[in-house]
Amino acid sequence: MTPLLRLFTIPRCAILAGVLAFFLLFATRGRIGVTWDEPTYFLASEKYISWLGQLITDPGNALSREGIDSTWQLNHEHPPFDKVASGIVWMIARNFTDDLTAHRLFNILLFSVTAALLFHLVAEEFSKTAGWMTVAAWLCMPRFFFHAHLASLDVPATCMILILTYVFWRTKDRPGWRGTVGLGVVCGVAAGTRINTLMVIPILGCWILLFQRKMFLFLRLCFAGLIGGAMFLLLWPWVYHNTLARLEEFVKVIFSWPIPQYYLYNNYLPPPWYFPFGMLLMVIPLGIGVLVLVGVLRIAVGRQNRPFACLLAANVLLPILLIASGWTKVYDNDRMLMPVFPFLATFAGIGFAWLRDVAVAISNRLRFSRYWTVGLTIAGVLAVLLPSCINSIRLYPYLLSYYSEAVGGLPGAHRSGMETTYWSESYLDAIPFINAHARPGDTIWVLHSSVDVMVYYQLHGLLRRDVVFAGIDQGDTIYRVGVDFQQTDMDYTNATFIVVQHRESLLYDLSDKPTGILLWMEQRTPAYQVEREGVPILDIFWKG
């Protein structure tokens, strides 16, 4: 077997971890509502796949300026690799599953493969106990667990960062071109998924300077960057024409797309420097957070595996510091922090394995039965993971409303002025009420750009086809592109159904004053409300 193939040969336990992750995500997919960005990615995936077919049958026309622009203009704000891969899987999977699952299936598979690689990495450096607990802790972070179901870019980007780290670590002691090519290919795929994945490159460079100053590693990183850059351009037909101008536009969008953040009763753009630290404290389950601190302590007092632990720590700190610096205008609660979660889970796994080793040593010294050790291990797992699992079951499918026990869960976070939810996932539960009460021609007004989500539901038979969408402005629904649905210019004051998710960053302006829709809502009682633990998540106002 060649060294490159050995790189991707992982033990059965790692494969089992990945399979279990896949079935857990697949089994819980049913009530995970469509989120804000997904309809755009669905349509982009389908158009990109149709272009690939044209590339085979009529390459000249497909590669022309007109052929490129007619397809790749859509969602050109992001590189396309994940959408292309999702589209290929969708084209196959839609023959045996529903459209939504088919669109999401590639990302579920990608997460499952990454979970297997993460298990292998941690188990190899520490122990299988640490590996199992790492994957379990990662899956038991409710916010990340929700995102892992979606056809969005946050989890794929996180997975690519992990895969880049995995490939680098597994090849760092192997000179030769195979490791360089492998790292370069993964680097190109990662950049073609989302550009923020490349923040791992300076991390790897600093790690080489500190721990393994070998010329072949510096050269590997440089050549991998060149290979990755070439692949990035090759994988993105949008930049085949007018390349420099389109790349410049792409870079500008990264730093200028404004998404405000509601945090501690204030609406910010950007939020204060301490936002990412506070956000992580509030959305990482308390038991897992304690284990993270234990894992950090284990590394601090021990002498083994420090280079590996420093690589993990850098992948935790860099995204946090970038967000704290205010370098971007894009804030969506925990979304930009997604790359941090698996590395925190790794420290939790390390911490748990250390505590277990201490417990085993004490039990052996006291000559306790091995069943005592097994029971203690099971009790430890339950003590750490059970609270977040129970809270996830109580909140499901509204896991974006999860807050840690450290702040009193969702009610405590609500009292502290945190955002209730943010990504339109709750609109799925508005559909039964609308379908039951709407008359032909009734109008629906939905808060901000969430019309995309409702149009998707209508096009796929969940929402009645005889209702009309109101208040669509500035082309804010991507389904206006080549899709036929009924719409009107009427605003929320005249619509029949007014559907509002409690995303406070859209209910207050940047001076923290309530918007018109919030003032309107405060004077009325909703006809239907979705709530969890006494906190409203979705309101429907009905002029029946």
pLDDT score recorded for residue 391: 94
pLDDT score recorded for residue 4: 46
Beta carbons of 304 and 121 less than 8 angstroms apart? no
* 415 burial level (CB within 10 Å; 0-12, 13-18, 19+): exposed
Per-residue pLDDT, averaged over 396-415, amounts to: 96
Domain ranges in the chain are 12-324, 425-542
Helix (H, G, I), strand (E, B) or coil at 453: helix
How far apart CA 104 and CA 332 sit, in angstroms, is: 21
Using left for φ > 0, alpha for ψ between -120 and 50, and beta otherwise, residue 534 falls in: left
How far apart CA 398 and CA 400 sit, in angstroms, is: 5
Q: Mind listing the pLDDT tens digit for each residue in 358-399?
A: 888 888 787 777 777 788 888 899 999 999 999 999 999 999
Reported pTM: 0.94
pLDDT of 221 higher than 70: yes
pLDDT score recorded for residue 373: 78
pLDDT band at 144 (very low <50, low <70, confident <90, very high): very high
Beta carbons of 237 and 68 less than 8 angstroms apart? yes
Among the listed residues 192, 161, 171, the one whose alpha carbon sits nearest the alpha carbon of residue 81: 192
DSSP class of residue 338? G
Helix (H, G, I), strand (E, B) or coil at 328: coil
Q: How many CA atoms lie within 13 A of 351 on its CB side?
A: 22
> What rounded mean pLDDT belongs to the chain?
91
Q: Mind listing the pLDDT tens digit for each residue in 99-114?
A: 999 999 999 999 999 9
- Higher confidence at residue 524 or residue 491? 524
Q: Cβ of 309: how many Cβ atoms within 10 Å?
A: 21
Q: Mind listing the pLDDT tens digit for each residue in 477-500?
A: 666 666 777 777 788 888 999 999
Among the listed residues 18, 22, 43, the one whose alpha carbon sits nearest the alpha carbon of residue 103: 43
How far apart CA 348 and CA 140 sit, in angstroms, is: 12
Task: List Cβ neighbours of 142 (8 Å cut-off, separation of 6 or more).
Answer: 283, 285, 388, 391, 392, 395, 399, 402
Among the listed residues 130, 200, 185, 196, the one whose alpha carbon sits nearest the alpha carbon of residue 157: 196
Among the listed residues 196, 508, 161, the one whose alpha carbon sits nearest the alpha carbon of residue 327: 196
pLDDT of 137 higher than 70: yes
